Amino acid sequence: MKDLEAFKSVVRQELLTHPVITDNPFTAWFARGEADEEQVADLLVQFSVFSNHFLVLQVKRMVNAGSLEGERCARNILMNECGVGLDPRTGSVEGRTFATGNAHLNWLREAGAVLGLEPMQLGRWRQGSDATHRFLNGLDKTYGSHDAMTGAGASFAIECWAASGLGGGPRLEAGNFWRQLIRGLEKVNLRRNAEGLDIIPLGFFKFHAEIEAGHGINVWRELEDTFAQPGFDAKRFLRGGKKALDAIEIFWLGLDEHRREYGRDALAGVNVAQWAL
């Protein structure tokens, strides 16, 4: 496909309408603030498995990048995930300092500690659900692919998912999954504060919302750079993007199914108690 604007239209139609971007049932529910302690803990544990094992995928993305710019961006993300400071305006870690406490997994551990989760409960593969494992394996085949074009498509799709709605006004921002998670956790914290309980630190979630808000502006520019690369292949790019979004959807649907099963189990427990009386 030689026409950039025509390709952008295809991207909007085939990638940006994916349900994990437009209709995420878990984050829409979570934003209401109805999650109890166990459901919040489940989110933190599964997100920690994702965050910790994403490091391996980020290394693969870096070494398989099809351009120097792609390699540079991937290296910045990797270093930031590990604890190097990042300029949210540029996405660069150049000249920034490292702190173990700033590793993203440790931010999640700080949040989990409030709910009584031990540090080594977070980030371990064995703590991941089947859906979380399938999600990470799906990203391994796309975002971490040895095929640079597949990885580029997956990277673009993931950035669009993470930045969706940010900078687009209150209505669109409200539908961004980071904003939905933050709203839900803020409501949970209001409830915890009223009950005299420690509030859950939200640094991990607010940081990602901030950097994605800035990066969302650059997503389409990066697409133009990728399109201009020699050997650009629209089919492989789109296939990588679709499969990456499919994998992400598995993660959220797994969390949604778990919270629904939990609700049914709780309801069943109430019925048993009623019959016992």
The band of 90, judged by pLDDT with boundaries at 50, 70 and 90, is: confident
> pLDDT tens digits for 151-165?
999 999 999 999 999
Instruction: Look at residue 191 and tell me whether its pLDDT is greater than 90.
Output: yes
Instruction: Look at residue 197 and tell me whether its pLDDT is greater than 90.
Output: yes
Indicate the range of 69-73, 97-101, 110-114 predicted with least confidence. 69-73
Indicate the range of 70-84, 208-222, 233-247, 260-274 predicted with least confidence. 260-274
Instruction: Look at residue 82 and tell me whether its pLDDT is greater than 50.
Output: yes
Cβ neighbours around 191 below 10 Å, total = 15
The Cα–Cα gap between 80 and 96 comes to 10
**CATH architecture of the domain formed by 4-276:** Up-down Bundle (1.20)
The band of 264, judged by pLDDT with boundaries at 50, 70 and 90, is: low
The Cα–Cα gap between 128 and 53 comes to 10
Instruction: Look at residue 72 and tell me whether its pLDDT is greater than 60.
Output: yes
> pLDDT tens digits for 225-247?
889 988 899 999 999 999 999 99
Task: Please tell me the predicted confidence (pLDDT) of residue 230.
Answer: 87
The DSSP code for 66 is S
| Alpha-helix runs per DSSP H in the chain | 4-14, 19-22, 25-30, 37-63, 68-82, 104-114, 130-142, 148-163, 170-174, 177-194, 203-215, 219-227, 234-276
Task: Please tell me the predicted confidence (pLDDT) of residue 272.
Answer: 31
Instruction: Look at residue 216 and tell me whether its pLDDT is greater than 70.
Output: no
Let me know: does 71 contact 65? Beta carbons within 8 Å. yes
Task: Please tell me the predicted confidence (pLDDT) of residue 168.
Answer: 85
> pLDDT tens digits for 112-149?
999 999 999 999 999 999 999 999 999 999 999 999 99
Task: Please tell me the predicted confidence (pLDDT) of residue 1.
Answer: 56
The Cα–Cα gap between 210 and 178 comes to 9
Residue 84: strand, helix, or coil: strand
Instruction: Look at residue 49 and tell me whether its pLDDT is greater than 70.
Output: yes
Task: Please tell me the predicted confidence (pLDDT) of residue 215.
Answer: 72
Let me know: does 58 contact 74? Beta carbons within 8 Å. yes
Taking all residues of the chain, what is their mean pLDDT, rounded to a whole number? 91
Residue 239: strand, helix, or coil: helix
The Cα–Cα gap between 135 and 137 comes to 5
User: Model's pTM, two decimal places?
Assistant: 0.91
The percentage of the chain sitting over the pLDDT mark of 90, rounded to a whole number, equals 78
Residue 57: strand, helix, or coil: helix
The percentage of the chain sitting over the pLDDT mark of 70, rounded to a whole number, equals 93
Task: Please tell me the predicted confidence (pLDDT) of residue 276.
Answer: 31
